[in-house]
Structure 1
């Protein structure tokens, strides 16, 4: 509002004519007169002398006019600088992702995006859910991709983009590999390899088992490891079974290294979600990325395909 008054004042001072200033600013003459009147009342002094020939600046008006020009120049320069920064960042997406998403989903998506939009740059932080939440909250990241329960902070906007199934994984030489499903009761009879205490994957898994009537303490835990890859190595060596994301063993199952089994009668799922700040505007590139995640059919195809394949068609417009 104040900036508009300054613009009106500058135009009237330059033209010495309210009618002409109104035409240049595409405003009505009474509106121009009212803006000038409000400024004079605000400062308690007359800036213009009125006559039938037009208006002229008073001595106070001349001093004020110099300052108005300086202020508007600063505002316009600031606008240019801010716009320049925005232009520089239009092709940049700053996002964070938890481990499973960062290792097993993002490579496919980024490979796909690189073919469709080679001008787009993506900076990624891989961390646990708590860290990603905090970085989005503090605006160090614009988009967060997380596993499991959603943050409850009122500043977040969160939506599920994928439902990740947790499956029982055994080597193809294991007796269970002859089945597609397994009961909860059978799980406690075999050696169990799992993530360390505090892992988000383990927390979701334990909560899901409890909801289905199996106390995780009844499992025969023989190893607690700090990474999914370490667990996969141990399981492939025949040292036990694990419960992990189906996404993390797709390749090994296709190669007949592992067999993934669903929990009989009650499969285990966890949501994978997008989090952003509710009041934060998004660039075109960020909107494009989020819309891709919302397109479940396209995302399924991306995850199923070799993202380096020349045959994968463009579906982003």
Structure 2
């Protein structure tokens, strides 16, 4: 029955059976059949169907409110049962985009493990669409994503960081003595980037367009599936890249890479926190979200190695225990 309710809720919120089927990774006929079974079970028509999509009937609106509350209750019940199974440990399920998961979360989690040893964090790396869907289905508590987010009335979206996108060249490159370059100069260089359609690639293209710059002017010579692979290629002198400044901080300090701005057009992308708009946050979840909004503390945490995090962790413990 829970799956039937999830299907109904998704159709009600997207107002489109085809879109709901795509987001739930189900076939359209299967979605339609489950809705029909629900309507037969309750002896009521829940949707008005038109060529433009579906809308809730009055009966459907009443049913939707109960379905939303029922799914929320089930999610909390699962969470409480899981907590008992885990020897009363509080478990927070996180899902993160690759850049955040690889370059921000490790230090933050190491910091939190020291501060809250009784809290267990389960982390999965995924794309924005999967993270949003997992939140809607109550599979995770918090999602951390890069760039724009598909609007959904069941999700809260909070920006917690503006990540600067920078041009990265090896230190032996002729541009290494400079602080910035123009887009025209950039277009003449071989650019190494993520694959088309990936989150980081779209973030760069969107940031360029927002500045009135045309991404098609860039000469893309290589597309790779990971940030680590891109950095290796650039370090070998096989091209340059536009990338998150967070991912190259250490290489910049070690004089492996030089970071450059595009003249008169600094590029940024938002890093966002996603949460379920219909579910109250636990104390532990609120602490994590509050930490992500504390820019000074985050900068301090990210600048340290894991073994240096005790001092900052003790500081947060004192603040949160007051």
Matches within 5 A, 1:231-270: 231-270=230-269
Cα distance in 2 for partners of 1:200, 1:81 equals 32
- Give the alignment of 1:44-193 within 5 angstroms: 91-193=90-192
Count of residue pairs the alignment pairs up? 239
2:83 touches 2:90 (CA, 8 Å); kept in 1?
no
**Structure 1 pair 227–282 and aligned structure 2 pair: CA distance change class (3 A):** same
Per-residue CA deviation, residues 144-190 of structure 1 (Å, 9 max, x unaligned), is: 00000123100101100111000000000001111111111110011
Structure number with greater Rg is: 1
Query: Aligned with 1:276: secondary structure?
Result: strand
Tell me by how many angstroms 1:308 deviates.
2.1
Distance 1:269-1:226 versus aligned 2 partners, 3 A rule: same
Secondary structure class of the residue paired with 1:305: coil
Tell me which moved more, 129-138 or 204-213. 204-213
Distance 2:280 2:298 in 1: 24
Residue number in structure 1 paired with 2:311: 312
CA 1:140/1:258 → structure 2, altered by over 3 Å: closer, same or farther? same
Change in CA separation of 1:99 and 1:85 when aligned onto 2, cut-off 3 Å: closer
Equivalent residue runs for 1:195-274 within 5 Å = 195-274=194-273
Q: Secondary structure at the match of 2:133?
A: helix
Which stretch of the first structure deviates more once superposed, 109-118 or 136-145? 109-118
Alignment of 1:271-282 (within 5 A): 271-282=270-281
Q: Determine helix, strand or coil for the equivalent of 1:312.
A: helix
Partners of 2:128 and 2:149 within 8 A in 1: no
Q: Distance in 2 between matches of 1:80 and 1:219?
A: 52
Cα 1:215–1:90 shift into 2, 3 Å: same
RMSD of aligned C-alpha atoms? 2.0
- Cα distance between partner residues in 1 of 2:97 and 2:161: 14
* 2:203 partner SS: helix
Distance 2:77 2:183 in 1: 63
Closer/same/farther in 2, CA of residues 150 and 310 from structure 1, 3 Å limit = closer
CA contact (8 A) 1:90 1:283 kept: no
Contact 2:89 2:120 in 1 (8 A): no
Q: Which moved more, 1:96-105 or 1:294-303?
A: 294-303
User: d(CA) in 1 for partners of 2:77 and 2:121?
Assistant: 25
What whole-Å deviation, never above 9, does each CA across 1:183-220 have from its counterpart, x for those lacking one? 11110011111110111111111112123233222211
> TM-score by structure 1 length?
0.71
The answer to whether the 8 A contact 1:166-1:205 is kept is yes
Alpha-carbon distance change, 110 to 196 in structure 1, aligned in 2, over 3 angstroms = same
Question: Structure 1 84/238 Cα, relative in aligned 2: closer, same or farther at 3 Å?
Answer: closer
What's the secondary structure of 1:134's corresponding residue? helix
Give the match for residue 289 of structure 1: 288
Superposition TM-score, scaled by structure 2 size:
0.70
What SS class does the counterpart of residue 197 from structure 1 fall into? coil
Measure the CA separation in 1 of the matches of 2:182 and 2:167.
10
Counterpart CA distance in 2 for 1:82 and 1:226 is 35
SS across alignment from 2:188: coil
Structure 1: runs of 5+ lacking an equivalent: 1-78
